[in-house]
Amino acid sequence: MRRATAVALGALVVAAPWVIAAAVPRQQRYVLHVLVFTALFAALALSYDLVVGHVGSLSLAHPAFFGIGAYTAAILATAAGWPFLADLLAAALLAAVVAALVGVPLFRLTEHAFAVGTLGLAVVAGIVANNWVEVTRGPLCITGIPKPRLGGLAITTLPGYYWLALGALAAVALLYRGLTTFRLGRAFHAVRDNEPLASSAGIDPLKYRLLAFTVGAGLAGAVGALYAHYLSVMCPEEMTIGLTVNLLVIVFLGGVGSLRGVLVGAVLFTALPEVLRLAPTWRLVIYGLLLLVVVVRSPEGLDSLLRRLGARVGR
Amino acid sequence: MALLEVRGLVKHFLGVTAVDRVDLAVEPGELVSLIGPNGSGKTTLFNCVTGYLPADGGRILFRGHDLAHVAPHRVARLGLARTFQQVSVFARLSALENLLVFLQQHQEERLLARLVRTRRLRRLEEEAVERARRLLDLVGLGARADAAAGSLSYGQRKLLAFAGALMSDPELLLLDEPAAAVNPTMIEQMKEHILALHRQGKTVLLVEHNMDVVMDISERVVVLDHGQKIAEGPPEAIRRDPRVVEAYFGR
């Protein structure tokens, strides 16, 4: 992308609340709500891609870490009255600690067994959220989660929350970039591409897998906290396996292992279905067809497919 | 003292003894070949020495360290590099990046330092890039530095893997069939590369099936058959050794 285009796009994204207010005044709230979701899902998908895209471990446990973060923040903010930034930090830390603890035994499993093991973790986390009623209130949900406050600034309006989500996305994207480029990224990719060979280069595969898994989980926990504060309600349904399906679609259809690809995926599969008002039943059918087409025609994802089409049109 | 000393190494697979009380010593600066018919335990011995398989008995000493239960990445950091029989590269990294992977862990392995990218780290990276380009030129891949390793030809990938093993300037280089399944021109190239390393004083232990290569370049040959060492000596003596002839051609 040209620099000027990038700057223009960035400005448009930051100014979105005003642009939307001017363009579709009657639907401003709805469109902004979709954009908040898009930003949060993009951040969550990036944290997921650290694991599946960069160290190549197909984890299905991400809803568990998202849920741990969301519940931690929700409970601390309501029952203990913690301030927003403190419960956000606690949410990220707890999710990361759980990931580090379960990661050691999980990474002893090879590929498919690892996927099943992480799936087990996600299922168990869902059961706990539903049944540990004293703490999570189970299906009654935790309600009345306060709006976030940053210092003296209360974030109560929708544009305010949009900018908060955008800032969170920018922070996650920055960290994602730092982790996946240069020497650290190279070590991740070496482990992903060929584990025995990486060992022969002096790289400890377990250490790098655990690092990506733990950081990914911590970021998922932080996104969970933002999500709970935004909705002000946290229910067990928010952390089902359906979330994994969404993340898989975003990451693999957008472009696995690529910042741009994941962002494109998040926009395509969070914002577009909402805007196009797709019926939920048809959405899954369309996702299934798209997955097939993309996996067969462009395994690197829609981002690279769009770029190739763009290059052909440009010629 | 020998650089690598293997004493009474034993490795079983489900009741089959793949390596049976093998002794082997490699002195600094030597070029030693390990030969033997298929299934004689050569690669198994390599895998035990480099930590990929746990040994069931015996000792492996490298520069005074006991390698019996050391993980592969730690063995590598002690200065023992190896290549693999199957062509082995990081397919989605470029040829240049493939080589960089092999040096960074030896230069600096603190994780946090990598995230903040200190000036020292940038300097190390520049040194690594320079060394990687020299090695790519050496094996004739200079023009393909930015190509994805997975897009290189079989022979090119083999050369890239060889260059990777040289990246960290190891004390001991274990090469597992560097001349297997490549064309005659490339076999000659490989021979030249290995001889050049030998002239620089590097220590090389070679597993190879190609007898011409082994007999041409080795100083000493060790022969395995059914997991046991059946002969050891200079190439000319090995060529005439009746036990070796029998192991290869039968009675």
Distances (CA, A) of A302 to A189, A252, A256, A296, B165: 21, 9, 10, 11, 37
- Partner residue facing B115 (CB), from A184, A189, A192: A184
How far apart CA B243 and CA A245 sit, in angstroms, is: 62
Reported as a single tens digit per residue, the pLDDT across B52-92 is 999 999 999 999 889 988 999 999 999 999 999 887 899 99
DSSP letter at A232 equals: S
Task: Provide the 10 A C-beta neighbour count for residue B146.
Answer: 9
Nearest CA in chain A to B73: A202
Chain B residue set in contact with A, beta carbons under 8 Å: 50-52, 71-73, 76-77, 81-82, 84, 88-93, 97, 100-102, 104-106, 108-109, 111, 114-115, 117, 121, 125, 161, 164-165, 168
Min Cα separation B58/chain A (Å): 23
Picking from A33, A41, A28, A35, the residue whose alpha carbon sits closest to that of residue A13 is: A35
- A194·B89 Cβ contact <8 A: yes
Task: Provide the pLDDT for residue B109.
Answer: 66
Task: Provide the pLDDT for residue A307.
Answer: 79
What's the pLDDT band for B112 if we cut at 50, 70, 90? low
DSSP letter at A269 equals: I
Contacts 24+ apart (CB under 8 A), A243-249: A243/A62, A243/A63, A243/A66, A244/A60, A244/A62, A244/A63, A244/A122, A246/A41, A247/A44, A247/A45, A247/A48, A247/A62, A248/A52, A249/A287, A249/A290, A249/A291
Task: Provide the pLDDT for residue A278.
Answer: 63
Min Cα separation A74/chain B (Å): 31
Task: Provide the pLDDT for residue B218.
Answer: 92
> Alpha carbon A75 to chain centroid distance?
21
* Residues of chain A scoring pLDDT < 70: 1, 275-279, 314-315
Reported as a single tens digit per residue, the pLDDT across B150-198 is 999 998 999 999 999 999 999 999 999 988 888 888 889 899 999 999 9
Nearest CA in chain B to A189: B93
- A183·B121 Cβ contact <8 A: yes
Task: Provide the pLDDT for residue A271.
Answer: 79
The edge-to-edge listing of strands for the beta sheet with B16-26 is B16-26, B4-13, B57-62, B65-66
Q: What pTM, to 2 d.p., does this model score?
A: 0.90
End-to-end Cα separation, chain B, in angstroms: 39
**Paired tokens of A231:** 């909705």
Task: Check pLDDT > 70 for residue B216.
Answer: yes
Chain A residue set in contact with B, beta carbons under 8 Å: 178-179, 182-184, 186-187, 189-190, 192-194, 196-205, 211
